[in-house]
Amino acid sequence: MKRFKKILLVSDDSDSGQATLTRAIDLATRNQARLTLIKVISQVPHDYRVFITSLLPEEIMKIAVREHTLLLEKQIASFEKSISIELKVVVGREFIEIIKEVLRNKHDLVIKTARGMGGRIGVLFGSTAMHLLRKCPCPVWLIKPEQGQKYGRIMAAVDVDPEAMEGSDLNNKIMEMATSLARRENSELHIVHTWKKPDLIYLTGELDYKQPPAFTKSCEEAQNMHIKWLKEFLEPYKEQQYQEHILEGSAGRFLPEFAEQHHIDLLVMGTVCRTGIPGFFIGNTAEKILHRINCSVLAVKPDGFISPVQLDDQ
């Protein structure tokens, strides 16, 4: 996979979290990367007092940090001989402290166990995960609980429309991660691009339930153009084995359906709508996909993305 140098793993003491730890250690070992395990605990309110002790909130927090550090040491005890893992226990709001750690020490990947319910019953990714997907400047890998150690099927979602690709390296970053991970895990790789038919009202100038021949021809030409764009984009990756798919319709609807139908284990995708515009930290389409997907996700952002969380934030 891409040569990550500094990996940040968000601690999770559940059985699923232990499986995520194993995967993170394997990735760090293969990349000869530094691995940091971080635990974020909530701040005790300043007006808080324990009934049975005279300890101040600051003293309570010191004890809590020390105890959570001991728990982390137990969590990694069986791995200490194979890799050196840095432990950090910090106080604050989880997603903010994770992003600050990324900024402070220039981590190039965050790994976290997904904590939501998943599927059609509920959203797989909890609030911290969604904040990271929107605002973390480096790639975020969210691992579905109880998922196997190997990904049998990986899907890379790309947008090869020249207007969308102009000045962006996002598609190439998606492909770099998807192809290298597929090779490492011997996975079946699916490259998926969606397109939408032209709006009939723009082509005919009027609403008409009967499609005119010109509209049908325009749709065929549009589809052929998207096929051409995808083939041209994939030319540098022709040595990699993959299956390419052109889906007609909304990405927010059809990508999750494709993932379910093809039993996708990992989706590699971009999450940014625009770069450098305050508030546009995640695209509307990406939001729809993430709220319907039921597999692990590796999300990337283009170079130049600026997180709304900064080190001087309180």
Position 197 confidence tier, pLDDT thresholds 50, 70, 90 = confident
pTM: 0.86
Are residues 107 and 15 part of one domain?
A: yes
The token pair at 117 is 């319910």
How is residue 160 annotated by DSSP?
Answer: -
In the prediction, which pLDDT does 45 show?
64
Are residues 276 and 226 part of one domain?
A: yes
In sequence order, the β-bridge partners of residue 267 are 155, 297
Are residues 89 and 157 part of one domain?
A: no
Are residues 175 and 104 part of one domain?
A: no
Are residues 207 and 164 part of one domain?
A: yes
With beta carbons less than 8 A apart as the criterion, state whether 298 and 266 touch: yes
The token pair at 99 is 């992003």
Are residues 152 and 20 part of one domain?
A: no
- Looking at 78-82, 99-103, 171-175, 297-301, which range is the least confident one? 78-82
Are residues 109 and 164 part of one domain?
A: no
CATH number for the domain that contains residue 167: 3.40.50.620
Domain-embedded: residue 132: no
Domain-embedded: residue 124: no
Domain-embedded: residue 88: yes
CA atoms within 13 A on the CB side of 222: 17
pLDDT in tens, 47-80: 555 555 567 777 888 888 999 999 999 999 988 7
Domain-embedded: residue 295: yes
Percentage of the chain beyond pLDDT 70 is 82
In the prediction, which pLDDT does 277 show?
44
Q: In which domain, by residue range, is 38 found?
A: 1-113
Are residues 257 and 312 part of one domain?
A: yes
Q: Which residue has the higher pLDDT, 167 or 90?
A: 90
pLDDT in tens, 118-138: 544 346 677 899 899 989 999
Q: Which residue has the higher pLDDT, 199 or 281?
A: 199
Q: Are strands 34-41 and 266-270 parallel, antiparallel or unpaired?
A: unpaired
Q: Is the pLDDT of residue 276 over 60?
A: no
Domain-embedded: residue 141: no
Rounded distance between C-alpha atoms, residue 193 and residue 177, angstroms = 17
Domain-embedded: residue 18: yes
Domain-embedded: residue 140: no
Position 220 confidence tier, pLDDT thresholds 50, 70, 90 = confident
In the prediction, which pLDDT does 305 show?
86
Domain count, the chain: 2
Tell me the one-letter amino acid at 165.
M
Final residue belonging to a domain, choices 97, 113, 129: 113
Are residues 301 and 155 part of one domain?
A: yes
Are residues 203 and 87 part of one domain?
A: no
Domain-embedded: residue 236: yes
